[in-house]
């Protein structure tokens, strides 16, 4: 179909007036406009039929139309006039690349503005959005813009300043309803600017300005130029105010297109329609051919494409890019490598046909987990069809498919068909895939995370001082299992066996400002959502259920903001800890880490990395016991969300506890936002020390209140507290130096650390966070003959004390000390520090085993109403939950480890 330009607009190539009422004239069609470069206000003095290249930086005189090529150049003016004409736009601008065009557009934003953009964007667009988010304070929501309903919750009447759309998407050819989204945006946020990236279509096939977009940009490097011999970007709009701002930005930045490239682009555009017609027709043939062989093909021209109707309502054709899946990444690699005519290259829109594997090429910079979350198949092949003879293109592709073993000749049908071997492989793979992605499997995750001991710097770390903390061997475990109904439930076995369940649709969704994939939660908690949770689903909790309330708010808050559109997983979450809860050993952070990981996994915001190929060849293989199997990007994402939950539980946490809960080991941690350089550094050398942890078991201590009290003291006595903070910083610095000093003898190191422990405790006493029972423990360990150094650890006010045990401390002394402490009704634990951080039980069948540890009923625990009989071995996933909930706390770790391989950060 040949598009006709909007007759309401006036163009500089007007259709001649009809000579008579019977001999009417139709408006000129697109290809006529493309080929005819006329600008009546810029007649060439010699009547040249091609626009000349004004290869000059400056123009003489003061009264002329042009003075400097950054601000204006006749070749560029001709091009801009021509682009406006074919785009049904009042204004057009050309700049040095497609990314430069987006950069100009994004400069319309100011700090604090919000932008809604797709979650399946071109990598370069993603990169630029991340930059403006970090450096310009613009908030970016990545949303699936191909689902109009998913966009709506993110539209804010005043904050949303821009909505960035792209249709079809690249490389999956998903369709966004440009018209419907623009309408929803205009109704809800009238001042928001709707921007469309039209590169995949070009103005020939789609003109989003006619469907509600305010600005359209194209990478003109693609179809507009068509020859891959220049880079350019075009921006078009109808609104004069926007046009004025864009002209100002381009002139200020100086990224307007050069005269020679303007000439080349003008020349390219003349053939846009004929090139596109040919490319599109061939693309249709290629798509049909691959589809007929049984491959899964993404192309809006195919009858079964899900967005076909929407696309064809808005666009005038299906374009010339398509992609298909082979079911096997290696097979895809062979096909791509086997073609001759199809060039292996990124980009598209050129007269030559191109082939690529997005996951290995254009989208390789995106983390595999993010790619998987966006549903980008690793085996996807993208084809960008050129103007070659379609028979040659099909022939070349067929040869590559045959050589790769993807298709074979079927003598009965007398034609090539998809190879049975790969088809069977596909069917099997997809059956296994379906098994593994059956809801219940996708929703079942077993997670664990360690508690921590702060050796130096608690409380001070909240105010920007460096703390030194390390993981302990005691852990929190979290298990999610699928529910059959539309409910979620939590079971906190350590908190009076608390159990509650809620109808998913009854949760306060109205109060949620969702956080899109790849987006970070804002610095501040959403207090309106916390209130809605407390007064809604948790309103039945009594005063004395404050511990359960805190944990349930943290869980529900994350559940609500992490849900993706209407995909609201029905799950149960059970938490169990071998840590004493509320004793200063970071039980809240390890709980927060388990809950955050679980909710990120069930919402497919993170995924476990695929299994590495079995080692081949002769090289030496070391076992890492699953450590470093969870990549840093996933760990960071978990840590950010665990920190959100910690804010709910602790009010003003520093982030040290959740960082240890995620990363494990020992860390020097400095909070951001203060004068000192922030971040965390791993500390080695702690693993070999023995520590005694003593739980004072003081009831009712509250970390949130203790942290707030120190904050208050700082406000009341700024100087005194500042001196204490400086002194604690020196202690942390000194400890780091001592630990990093290779020449310090072990005995000397132990006495330095002992002295620092004593000194740090004195400062904590001055901050008012000790407790008589902690002082009693300290005195007991200091008494002769022990002479040991002890400090409170964590928030204090009770909780735990930590005592350093020197290497030469006699076993007899240790026994006596432990029984002394136990006699005073305190709980002593001997521990080493620095073990693994966040762990996830491997979801891969080859890593799962049958556990031989039988669950035992735990004294005082009541089975919640719907829990089935626990008298079973943990043979398979359906039996995991009852076994987990009833396993004795002493056996819990051994049982969990026996279930299979754990993958750790
Ligand atoms: N296993 C668990 N199940 C459910 N909630 C838990 C669990 N462990 C901790 N929590 C939540 O964390 C709260 C305890 O946090 P609190 O800060 O008082 O102790 P802590 O983290 O052990 O101490 P600190 O922060 O001083 O190291 C509990 O009241 C509960 O809300
Ligand atoms: C008291 C504190 O320093 C440690 C609590 O474990 C608080 C924090 O850092 O978040």
Map residue 835 onto helix, strand or coil.
Answer: coil
529 CA to centre of ligand 2 in angstroms: 25
**Predicted confidence (pLDDT) per residue in 470-490, tens digit:** 999 999 999 999 998 899 999
**Predicted confidence (pLDDT) per residue in 356-392, tens digit:** 998 887 777 666 666 766 678 889 999 999 999 999 9
Query: Which residues lie below 8 Å from residue 138, measured CB to CB, with a gap of 6+?
Result: 106, 109, 110, 111, 112, 113, 114, 115, 132
Same fold, 30-270 and 274-437: no
The mean per-residue pLDDT over the stretch 685-692 comes to 86
Ligand nearest to the CA of 574: 1
Q: What is the DSSP string of 846-899?
A: GGB----PPP-PPTT----TT-----S---SGGGHHHHHHHS-HHHHHHHHHTT
Is the C-beta atom of 462 inside 6 A of ligand 2? yes
Q: Which of 490, 590, 591 to mutate to test the pocket of ligand 1 (most atoms within 8 A of CB)?
A: 591
- Strand 487-492 to strand 571-577: parallel, antiparallel, or no bridges (unpaired)? parallel
Q: Which of 809, 682, 782 is nearest to 739 (CA)?
A: 682
Identify which of 57-71, 219-233, 349-363 has the greatest average pLDDT.
219-233
Closest residue CA from atom 6 of ligand 2: 794
Closest residue CA from atom 15 of ligand 1: 588
Contact status, residue 98 vs residue 84, Cβ threshold 8 Å: no
Closest residue CA from atom 4 of ligand 2: 794
Identify which of 115-119, 401-405, 458-462 has the greatest average pLDDT.
458-462
Which atom from ligand 2 is nearest to the alpha carbon of 656?
A: 9
Is the C-beta atom of 451 inside 6 A of ligand 2? no
CA atoms of 670 and 668, how far apart (whole Å): 7
Question: Regarding the domain delimited by 30-270, which CATH topology (the fold level of the hierarchy) does it fall under?
Answer: 3.40.640
Q: Where are the domains of the chain?
A: 30-270, 274-437, 455-609+624-905
Alpha helices by DSSP H, 767-834:
772-782, 811-823
Is the C-beta atom of 519 inside 6 A of ligand 2? no
**Predicted confidence (pLDDT) per residue in 526-581, tens digit:** 999 999 999 999 999 998 899 999 999 999 999 999 998 778 999 999 999 999 99
Q: Which of 494, 499, 581 to mutate to test the pocket of ligand 1 (most atoms within 8 A of CB)?
A: 581
CATH of domain 455-609+624-905: 3.30.230.10
| Residue 340 DSSP label | S
3-state secondary structure 384-450: ECCCCCHHHHHHHHHHHHHHHCCEEEECCCCEEEECHHHHHHHHHHHHHHHHHHCHHHHCCEEEEEE
Contact status, residue 801 vs residue 583, Cβ threshold 8 Å: no
Dihedral angle over CA of 799, 580, 536, 504, nearest 10: 150
pLDDT-derived band of residue 866, with 50, 70 and 90 as boundaries? very low
Ligand nearest to the CA of 583: 1
Which atom from ligand 2 is nearest to the alpha carbon of 796?
A: 1
CA atoms of 732 and 460, how far apart (whole Å): 10
Distance of CA 55 to the CA centre of its chain: 46
Query: Which residues lie below 8 Å from residue 389, measured CB to CB, with a gap of 6+?
Result: none
Map residue 774 onto helix, strand or coil.
Answer: helix
**Predicted confidence (pLDDT) per residue in 744-794, tens digit:** 999 999 999 999 999 999 999 999 999 999 999 999 999 999 999 999 999
Which phi and psi (to 5°) does residue 378 adopt?
-65, -25
Instruction: Identify the pLDDT of residue 855.
Output: 52
Q: Which of 463, 651, 656, 714 to mutate to test the pocket of ligand 2 (most atoms within 8 A of CB)?
A: 656
If one counts every other C-beta atom within 10 angstroms of the C-beta of residue 783, the result is 12
Ligand nearest to the CA of 585: 1
Give this prediction's pTM.
Answer: 0.61
Is the C-beta atom of 707 inside 6 A of ligand 2? yes
**Predicted confidence (pLDDT) per residue in 602-627, tens digit:** 998 988 877 665 555 555 555 567 77
Ligand nearest to the CA of 656: 2
Q: What is the CA radius of gyration of the chain?
A: 33
Q: Which of 777, 860, 765 is nearest to 817 (CA)?
A: 777
pLDDT-derived band of residue 414, with 50, 70 and 90 as boundaries? confident
Closest residue CA from atom 10 of ligand 2: 653
Which phi and psi (to 5°) does residue 418 adopt?
-60, 135
**Predicted confidence (pLDDT) per residue in 783-833, tens digit:** 999 999 999 999 999 999 999 999 999 999 999 999 999 999 999 989 889
Contact status, residue 188 vs residue 179, Cβ threshold 8 Å: no
Asked whether the predicted pLDDT for residue 396 surpasses 50, the reply is: yes
Asked whether the predicted pLDDT for residue 10 surpasses 50, the reply is: no
Asked whether the predicted pLDDT for residue 718 surpasses 60, the reply is: yes
Pocket residues: Cβ below 6 A from ligand 1: 476, 492, 494-495, 547, 550-551, 575, 577, 581-589, 591, 649-650, 657, 702-703, 794-795, 799
Question: Regarding the domain delimited by 274-437, which CATH topology (the fold level of the hierarchy) does it fall under?
Answer: 3.90.1150
Q: Which of 533, 582, 555 is nearest to 480 (CA)?
A: 555
Query: End-to-end CA distance of the chain, in Å?
Result: 55
Q: Average per-residue pLDDT in the chain?
A: 89
Categorise residue 651: left if φ over 0, alpha if ψ from -120 to 50, beta otherwise: left
pLDDT-derived band of residue 875, with 50, 70 and 90 as boundaries? very low
Q: What is the DSSP string of 676-719?
A: SPPEEEE--S-TT-EEEEEE---TT--HHHHHHHHHHHHHHSHH
CA atoms of 51 and 76, how far apart (whole Å): 10
Instruction: Identify the pLDDT of residue 440.
Output: 58
Q: Which residues are catalytic?
A: 70, 122, 197, 222
Asked whether the predicted pLDDT for residue 229 surpasses 90, the reply is: yes
586 CA to centre of ligand 1 in angstroms: 7
Closest residue CA from atom 11 of ligand 1: 588
What tokens appear for 159 in the block? 């904050």
The mean per-residue pLDDT over the stretch 174-179 comes to 97
């Amino acid at each position: 179909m040949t598009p006709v330009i909007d007759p309401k607009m006036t163009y500089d190539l007007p259709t001649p007036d009809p000579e008579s009422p019977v001999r009417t004239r139709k408006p000129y069609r697109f290809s006529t406009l493309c080929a005819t470069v006329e600008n009546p206000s810029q007649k060439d003095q010699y009547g040249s039929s091609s626009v000349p290249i004004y290869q000059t930086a400056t123009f003489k005189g003061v009264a002329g139309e042009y003075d400097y090529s950054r601000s204006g150049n006749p070749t560029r003016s001709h091009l801009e006039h021509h682009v406006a004409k074919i785009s049904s736009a009042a204004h057009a601008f050309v700049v040095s690349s497609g990314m430069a065009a987006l950069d100009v557009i994004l400069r319309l934003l100011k700090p604090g503005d919000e932008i809604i953009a797709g979650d399946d964007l071109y990598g370069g667009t993603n990169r630029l959005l991340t930059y403006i988010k970090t450096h310009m304070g613009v908030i970016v929501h990545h949303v699936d813009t191909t689902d109009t309903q998913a966009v709506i919750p993110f539209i804010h009447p005043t904050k949303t300043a821009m909505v960035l759309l792209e249709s079809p998407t690249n490389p999956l050819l998903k369709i966004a309803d440009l018209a419907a989204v623009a309408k929803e945006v205009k109704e809800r946020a009238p001042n928001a600017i709707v921007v469309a990236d039209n590169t995949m279509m070009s103005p020939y096939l789609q003109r989003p300005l006619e469907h509600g977009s305010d600005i359209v940009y194209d990478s003109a490097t693609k179809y507009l130029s068509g020859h891959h011999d220049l880079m350019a970007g075009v921006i078009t709009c109808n609104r004069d105010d926007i046009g004025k701002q864009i002209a100002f930005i381009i002139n200020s930045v100086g990224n307007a297109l050069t005269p020679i490239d303007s000439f080349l682009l003008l020349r390219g555009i003349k053939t846009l329609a004929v090139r596109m017609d040919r490319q599109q027709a061939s693309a249709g043939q290629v798509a049909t051919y691959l589809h007929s062989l049984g491959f899964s093909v993404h192309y809006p021209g195919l009858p079964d494409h899900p967005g076909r109707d929407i696309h064809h309502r808005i666009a005038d054709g299906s374009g010339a890019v398509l992609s298909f899946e082979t079911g096997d990444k290696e097979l895809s690699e062979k096909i791509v490598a086997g073609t001759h005519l199809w060039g292996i290259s990124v980009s598209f829109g050129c007269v030559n046909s191109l082939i690529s594997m997005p996951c290995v090429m254009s989208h390789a910079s995106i983390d595999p987990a993010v790619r998987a979350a966006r549903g980008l198949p690793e085996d996807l092949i993208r084809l960008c069809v050129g103007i070659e003879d379609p028979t040659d293109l099909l022939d070349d592709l067929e040869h590559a498919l045959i050589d790769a073993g993807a298709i074979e000749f079927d003598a009965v049908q007398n034609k090539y068909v998809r190879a049975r071997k790969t088809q069977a492989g596909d069917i099997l793979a997809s059956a296994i895939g379906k098994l593994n992605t059956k809801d219940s499997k996708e929703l079942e995750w077993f997670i664990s995370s360690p508690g921590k001991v702060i050796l130096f710097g608690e409380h001070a770390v909240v105010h920007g001082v460096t703390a030194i903390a390390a993981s302990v061997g005691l852990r929190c475990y979290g298990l999610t299992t699928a529910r059959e109904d539309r409910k979620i439930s939590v079971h906190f076995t350590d908190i009076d066996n608390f159990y509650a369940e809620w109808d998913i649709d009854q949760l306060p969704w109205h109060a949620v400002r969702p956080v899109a994939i790849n987006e970070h939660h804002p610095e501040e908690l959403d207090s309106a959502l916390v209130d809605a949770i407390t007064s809604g689903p948790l309103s039945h909790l009594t005063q004395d259920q404050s511990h359960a309330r805190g944990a349930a708010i943290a869980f529900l808050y994350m559940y609500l903001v992490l849900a993706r559109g209407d995909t609201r997983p029905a799950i149960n979450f059970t938490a169990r800890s071998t840590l004493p809860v509320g004793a200063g050993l970071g039980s809240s952070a390890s709980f927060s880490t388990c809950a955050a990981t679980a909710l990120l996994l069930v919402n497919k915001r993170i995924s476990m990395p695929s299994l590495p190929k079995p080692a081949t060849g002769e090289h030496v293989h070391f076992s890492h016991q699953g450590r470093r199997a969870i990549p840093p990007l996933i760990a960071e994402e978990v840590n950010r969300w665990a920190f959100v939950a910690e804010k709910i539980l602790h009010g003003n946490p520093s982030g040290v506890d959740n960082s240890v809960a995620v990363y494990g080991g020992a860390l020097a941690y400095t909070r951001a936002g203060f004068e000192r350089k922030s971040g965390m550094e791993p500390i080695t050398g702690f693993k070999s020390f023995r520590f005694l942890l003593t739980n004072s078991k003081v009831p009712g201590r509250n970390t949130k209140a203790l942290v707030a009290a120190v904050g208050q003291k700082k406000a009341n006595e700024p100087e005194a507290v500042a001196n204490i903070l400086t002194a604690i910083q020196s202690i942390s610095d000194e400890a780091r130096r001592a630990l990093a000093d290779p020449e310090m003898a072990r005995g000397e190191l132990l006495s330095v650390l002992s002295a620092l422990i004593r000194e740090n405790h004195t400062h904590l006493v001055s901050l008012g966070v000790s407790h008589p029972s902690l002082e009693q423990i300290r005195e007991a360990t200091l008494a002769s003959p022990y002479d040991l150094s002890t400090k409170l650890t964590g928030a204090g006010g009770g909780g735990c004390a930590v005592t350093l045990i020197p290497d030469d401390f006699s076993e007899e002394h240790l026994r006596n000390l432990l029984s002394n402490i136990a006699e005073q009704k305190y709980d002593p634990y001997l521990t080493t520090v620095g073990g693994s951080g966040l762990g996830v039980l491997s979801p891969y069948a080859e890593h799962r085993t049958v556990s031989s540890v039988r669950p035992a009923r735990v004294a005082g625990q009541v089975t919640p109403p719907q829990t089935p009989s626990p008298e079973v071995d943990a043979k398979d996933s359906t039996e995991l939950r009852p076994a987990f909930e009833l396993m004795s706390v002493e056996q819990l770790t051994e049982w969990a480890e026996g279930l299979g391989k754990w993958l750790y950060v």
